[in-house]
Amino acid sequence: MAFAFYYPSLPRAYILLLELVGILRFSIFMCSRFLGNYISIPRRHEEETPSRSPASIKESLSVILFGSIAQRRRFHGEEKNSEYLCVICMSCLEPDHEIRELSNCCHGFHLTCMDVWLDEEGHSTCPLCRSSLL
């Protein structure tokens, strides 16, 4: 025999209290949603990381040959027989291509692709994992 939980088993005052708390929660949610359109609260990560120009970001990112990254990854046993892909242009990375290696996440992208990503799009995050570039 299975035990079932249903409202008549609770005292009526407790049920009314739960309904009142639910109505209060809903009204607070609606007020905060309504006021959210008018009140601008700065986000914490925006306060900590001031926006930098694309030129200064480019200067701080290292430019290396992809062959050195591929060799380092093979040495550590990562992705032995897979093709490496630039997710910006969706073409394969070759050992003689110049790439920008990101300092936080260690992802690499073609030099020209990353420059376009920074200049035209105005991004300051990794195209693959969205972590901060610096």
Collapsing DSSP to helix, strand or coil, 72 comes out as helix
Res 1: pLDDT = 47
Alpha carbon distance 97, 114 (integer Å): 13
- CA torsion sign for 23, 29, 33, 36 is positive
Average pLDDT of the residues of the chain: 76
The one-digit pLDDT tens for each residue of the chain (134 residues) are 455 556 567 788 888 898 999 999 999 888 877 776 665 555 555 444 556 788 888 888 888 888 887 677 665 555 554 567 888 888 888 888 888 888 788 788 888 888 888 887 667 788 888 888 77
Alpha carbon distance 112, 98 (integer Å): 9
Res 50: pLDDT = 55
User: CA of 51: how far to CAs of 7, 80, 120, in Å?
Assistant: 55, 37, 16
Res 14: pLDDT = 85
Res 37: pLDDT = 60
CB 49 within 8 A of CB 132: yes
Q: Compute how many other C-beta atoms are within 10 angstroms of the C-beta atom of residue 89.
A: 14
Global pTM reads 0.55
